[in-house]
Structure 1
Amino acid sequence: MASLRVSLFAICAAAATVLAATPSTYTGSGPIVTLDRGTFVGTTAGGINKFLGIPFAKPPIGDLRFRLPQAFGSYVGKHNATAFGLSCPQQADPLALPDGLPPPTLQFLQSLGTKATIPIGEDCLTLNVIAPAYVKPGSKLPVVVWIYGGGFEDGSSAFFDGTVIVNRSIALHQPVVYVSMNYRLGAFGFLASKEVKDAKVGNLGLWDQRLALRWVQKYIYAFGGDSSKVTIWGESAGAISVSLQMLANGGNTEGLFRAAFMQSGSPTPVGDITNGQKYYDFLVARTNCTGSPDTLVCLRAAPYEALQAAMDSTPSLFSFQSLALAWQPRADGVFLTDHPQKLVQQGKVAKIPFVAGECDDEGTLFSLSNANITKDADLRAYLAQFFLINVTAAQVDQVLTLYPQDATLGSPFDTGTNNTLTPEFKRIASLLGDFVFQAPRRFFLKNLSGKQNTWSYLSKRLKSLPILGSAHASDIANIYGGQDLTDYLIHFVTNLDPNGRSGPHWPQYTTSSPQLLTLLDGAVPADITLDTYRADGMNFLTELSLVHPL
């Protein structure tokens, strides 16, 4: 087995020191924006202005650790906005790779973890604004707000340069303003337990995002944006976050956004926040807080290094349990008043137009870490322990019947007997991809189609990538690479419809005609297909997850 440090759009930092992210007094030149009584100096190049590292919340350190974010307050003085702020603390996620992976597969995996090193620290709640240089306050351009992915355990706004999006929007004569923000991750952002629930401080990372959206409402006018025309957009954990922002507050957006665009993420089958109790207890024990009369207070005072080390010792996205995440959003009774999928059933979801899409082989990337499962009995035990919790043996049997040990039916799909890394690999990959990504997306769309305008896509690009196929995150290049999905995004942000003068027509998704824009390699870049594949399997997984959420 080879070991590789893989982070989904996260960084490898040599040290995790707590540094100050608040902009310092600055005397340089560049584009200037005035916020309150403060001025922020950014950079300009190629007709694009960038303002980076603007704090939107008070530093969540000291007694503010594990508390809801507090607005930064009024800005004063002159500040440097020419560099990204600190990235939030990241969870270590080493992946033990199976031997013999082909070079293209290794290159793809390495690309996920070879981002520029950005310093890490708890004082990380900053955001970035990128806009056409010619816009002025009051230009009222549509705004797109990006939320990064990374399994809720790593990631940074610094990994994504919205210049591509803004430049393309100018070329399409539909200019937009781009915003991205950091939010707390891992244990720092998604601590989960009875103690957390009682204190009403669950899902802090989602609260961070919400506060950043409030900042956009207050200040985006100064950058030429229109606060009434905000679209929230994310990938993976970022897309799940977008969907959960749609479920917050009973579905009342509070005017914070008018549309949503989701890549590989929908409301996931998770349950109550107390389901994370064992990970909370582990942190408490590792930080010598076990005997404390108030363990949450003790954790707030724990040394940063001790908390980081404890978090790094919990299962990560690339651990054996894979997508059964230790740190993730859960129903806390406040931000999420019920299990996310139950909120969808109850209709407590924002009535806004949205796009929700997936990659064809969502599960392959997350099945490398359990390649030692090679027998039916091992898979049965694995599913019962991590995903099909408290279901009957007969129900597990039914799942395995619907997802048989037949390489021609597994993921990467439509590749025959190729990519059979182990006898169970393609089977596991199809199961995990459907359980966490495909089935929730279909459930989300089918519950809301006809009630609001919806579109969906399926990316089958990079299908020839050995072992992984059209893997999770393989569609990011389609959008941050300035390709066709970029145009659809810009049209959607501008007109609440992804269709424009460029690209094949993308029909709406309805329950009677669940049409997918299917992205393809080769001479024909896209086709329209129906979202009916693996219907029996996904329906049964959804049925189980509604009763037995993670």
Structure 2
Amino acid sequence: MLFWVTLAIAASNVLAQTVKLDSATVTGTSSSGVHKFLGIPFAKPPVGDLRFRLPQPVAPYTANFNAKEFGLSCPQQAVSLPLGGGLAQEAIDYFVDTIFGAVFPESEDCLTINVVKPASATPNSKLPVVVWFFGGGFELGGTSMYDGGSIVSKSLDMNKPVIYVSMNYRVTAMGFMPGKEIRDAGVGNLGLQDQRQALRWVQKYVGAFGGDPTKVTIWGESAGAISVALQMVTNNGNNEGLFRGAFMQSGSPIPVGDIENGQDYYNSIVKDTGCTGSADTLACLRKVDFKKLKTAINNTPGIFAHQSLSLAYLPRVDGVFLKENPQKLAEKGQIARVPFVTGDCDDEGTLFKLSSLNITTDTEFKDYLRTYWIRTASEAELDGILKMYPKDIREGSPFDTGILNALTPQSKRIASFMGDVVFQGPRRHFLQYTSSKQNTWSFISKRLKKIPVLGAFHASDILNIYGGGDLSDYLVQFANTLDPNGPFVVNWPKYTTSSPRNMALLDGLFPRVIQNDDFRKDAMAYLTNVALAHPL
């Protein structure tokens, strides 16, 4: 009798690790009450003539296949620090070891999606779905960096089960190539288009895993969070029913300009691949050997180059996915009216100052702004930034650390500027134009403040959410109810223009307090206006 019971349990377990997609049986893996289905193609491989083209949906699945391993990451940008060595290199190593992980195997054939579900979920369960967009400066990253099982396990512990989904999308020049030729061909922002295609896949197939396609929350960090915000402002704010809520960690609509602003990068790649003499340089790039193309891309600046967050490859106005500066779209109300949570780390800019430690004077800082950040600004506007972001190291980032952590006379100032122009300012601007029209909540993570040089650095909150901390409680609660408040969390008031308040996540005995969102109010408002007038 025991033999037959054991056999029945084993057979049930094997059966539960399979799902039916169209006419194909897909087999995943099982561990600790969680089933994972990894590396499922959601679009045709963007290779050959499909390189630098919009993602094409896969044909209906007909052949059975295993989904037991992550798909390869999309081609990555090379990482290098121009001033390597010393504390700067140690800080980068810390970031790579604790947040980013190892370099991932890559391939052009990379458009795959992963689904993690409770073992008990059936096609009739209708569970909420969280869809994760990874970060990495639009140049790096992949889904294998993160264990979605931790999120599903947390949801089970809370008795609020969710389905976890993550997708690979094209990054660096493969996903965000700039240039007039890209605009004319209608193939800008391919990484964002990949994400959109993955969301359409979710609508079609997540029910087979036990998810409810009407209860999707899109969620991301850094470039992933910016992507979430841009999915909200594309298509005149019509989200096509692809999601009902959003959760953003360190990312909002950013002030970016026309895709031709990056023409020099396109021209550089064309030159280095030998495509300069071609009548159709984009057609030539589709045919060029991948290794040669990859080398040419790596010859352009990456996220830790001297210009840092003034990225070579990032979303830009392409006339298709983004028809205008995303912040202008938010101001015009062209945004999906869904509830959302958004927040930043206190010291967003410290990680990215490490490639500009050779800047030590006011004149050099001003030249840096003019060369890489606000190229068309007037002298008066540049002087205004210097005034609003003074060189007094006691006012710089890591904030609230006094005279400590100043690697150079300008390093804390640069970190403060970068953190506000890319993260804090856009978050506050986003909330200004949305909080009166939809339910919004805002947070700031001030944890890990004692880390030398970095403080509460960019991406440090990932440890909180994937490590089972209270941010994961908020995420699960929000995915279930569209409100982060619930029996497992302290009261978190909505953000309003009349009462702009953050949930502050702190170290120590009192890990969560409510604080006014008014820090650096005048400086951030000034910087936001200048950046809006002179987008990257």
TM-score, length-normalised on structure 1?
0.93
Match of residue 195 from structure 1:
181
- Aligned residue among 318, 323, 328 for 1:342: 328
Alignment partners' CA distance in 2, 1:96 and 1:282: 20
Deviations 1:37-58 (A, max 9, x none): 1111000111100000000000
Distance in 1, Cα, partners of 2:306 & 2:98: 19
Please tell me whether residue 60 in structure 1 is matched to residue 46 in structure 2: yes
Aligned to 1:297: 283
**Rounded Cα–Cα distance in structure 1 between residues aligned with 2:134 and 2:83:** 25
* Distance (Å, rounded) in 1 between the aligned partners of 2:247 and 2:399: 25
**SS at 1:124 equivalent:** coil
Mapped pair 1:522 → 2:494: no
Q: Does 1:437 align with 2:423?
A: yes
Deviation at 1:536, TM superposition (A): 1.1
Give the distance between the partners of 2:497 and 2:393, measured in 1 at CA: 30
Structure 1 residues 46, 138: CA separation in 2 closer, same or farther (over 3 Å shift)? same
Q: Residue in 2 aligned with 1:446?
A: 432
Partner of 1:15: none
- Residue 475 of structure 1 aligns with which residue? 461
Could you say what secondary structure the match of 1:448 adopts? coil
Q: Which amino acid aligns with 2:391?
A: Q
Say if 2:501 is the partner of 1:503: no
Point out where structure 2 has 5 or more consecutive residues left out of the alignment: 1-13
**1:264–1:437 Cα contact (<8 Å) kept:** yes
Structure 1 contact 30–42 (Cα < 8 Å) conserved: no
Residue equivalent to 2:213? 227
For residue 208 of structure 2, give the secondary structure of its aligned residue in structure 1. helix
> Residue in 2 aligned with 1:373?
359
Q: CA deviation at 1:119?
A: 2.2
Distance, in Å, in 1 between the alignment partners of 2:170 and 2:459 is 21
Aligned partners of 1:85 and 1:100: how far apart in 2?
Answer: 36
Identity %: 58
List structure 1 runs of 4+ shifted beyond 6 angstroms: none
Corresponding residue of 2:263: 277
CA change 1:121–1:481 in 2 (3 A) is same
Number of the residue aligned with 1:71: 57
Q: Note if contact 2:100-2:145 (Cα within 8 Å) is conserved in structure 1.
A: no
Check whether the contact 2:133–2:225 (CA below 8 A) recurs between aligned residues. yes
Aligned equivalents of 2:175 and 2:482: distance in 1? 31
Contact (CA 8 Å) 1:518, 1:527: kept in 2 or not?
yes
Shift, 1:485, TM fit = 0.5
Shift of residue 543, structure 1, vs aligned partner: 0.8
Query: In 2, Cα distance between the equivalents of 1:39 and 1:102?
Result: 50
1:404 corresponds, among 387, 390, 399, to 390
Greater helix share, structure number: 2
CA–CA separation in structure 2 for the residues paired with 1:283 and 1:529: 47
Which one of 133, 137, 141 corresponds to residue 119 of structure 2?
A: 133
Q: CA–CA distance in 2 between the matches of 1:112 and 1:90?
A: 19
- The separation in 2 between residues aligned to 1:104 and 1:95, in whole angstroms, is 11
Q: One-letter code of the match for 1:93?
A: V
Query: Separation in 2 of the partners of 1:310 and 1:127?
Result: 28
Following superposition, the deviation at residue 104 of structure 1 comes to 7.8
Q: Deviations over 1:298-327 (max 9, x none)?
A: 100011001100111111100000000000
Contact (CA 8 Å) 1:446, 1:511: kept in 2 or not? yes
The amino acid that maps onto 2:67 is A
2:265 is paired with a residue whose SS is helix
Give the letter aligned to residue 501 of structure 1: P
> How many residues matched?
523
* Aligned partners of 1:268 and 1:440 also within 8 Å: yes
Q: CA deviation at 1:394?
A: 1.2
SS in 2 for 1:322: coil
* Displacement after TM superposition at 1:421 (Å): 0.6
Secondary structure of 1:53's counterpart equals strand
Aligned-partner SS, 1:266: coil
Q: Which moved more, 1:28-37 or 1:128-137?
A: 28-37
The RMSD of aligned alpha carbons is 1.4
2:403 paired with 1:417? yes
Residue type of the alignment partner of 2:509: A
Contact 2:92–2:351 (8 Å) recurs in 1: no
- Cα distance, 1:384 vs structure 2: 0.8
